[in-house]
Amino acid sequence: MPSQFSDENIPEPEATTLTDEQGRSIECTIESSFSLDGEEYILLLPLDTPVEILTWSDDEDEEVAVPVESEAVIDSIFDTAKVVLEEQNLTLKRTAVTLTVAGELPEDIFDNDVEENGSVGGGEEDYEELLMLTTFYHEEQQYGIYTPLDPFFIMARMNEKGEPQLLSSEELDKIEPLLPMIEEKLFGDFS
C-alpha cells in the first residue's frame, strides 16, 4: 500500500550563496523566509557542517572551554587544524560566518561525549551542545574542533539584487524578538 507521505510532495530547499565583508562565501539552503517593514529576510542552513574551534584556559582551579574567535589565532592554527581533519577525510574551509567542514562525518564521533560550552554573555542555563570531531596541539596549546548538535542557522536579508546579505547589528536587534516564532514555524513544519 503506498504511503500518503511522499518525498515528491516535499519541496527541495532553494540553494544560495552568502558572502561576507571579507569576500568569504558559504553555500546554504533557504529554510524559511518572511517580510518585515518591506524587507525580505531569510533563514539559511549551511550545506557543509559548521564547526567551532575551542581551547582551554584555567579559571579558578578548573579548565574552561573557550571558543577561538580571533581571526589572527584562527589564521595561525588553520593549517594544522586542516591537516588533522584531513585524517578523517574532512576538508576544513574558511567560509563566511563560521568555519565549516566538507565530507562525511565519521560514524564513531556520535559515540563521543557531548561537550557543553558556556556561551559568551550567557547564564548557566545558556549553553550550546557540541560534538567533538578531533583535538590537536599548536605551539603547546590544545585545541578541539567541535560541531554543534543543533542546526546552525544564519539570518540574512535579501538585497535589491536578490542576493542574501548578512544583517547589521541594528537589523539583528530588530529581528531577535521574532526568532522564537520563526523557529516554531520552521520546526512545526517538520513535525
pTM (2 decimals)?
0.79
**C-alpha radius of gyration, the chain, whole number:** 19
Give the strand pairing for 99-102 and 91-94.
antiparallel
Backbone phi and psi for residue 61, each to the nearest 5 degrees, phi listed first: 70, 10
At 183, list the grid cell. 523557529
List the pLDDT tens digit at each of the 191 positions of the chain. 343 444 444 457 789 999 999 999 999 999 888 888 888 989 999 999 999 999 988 777 777 889 999 999 999 999 999 999 999 999 999 999 999 999 998 776 666 555 544 333 334 444 578 899 999 999 999 999 999 988 899 999 999 998 999 998 888 888 888 777 777 776 665 44
Query: Quick one: pLDDT at residue 4?
Result: 41
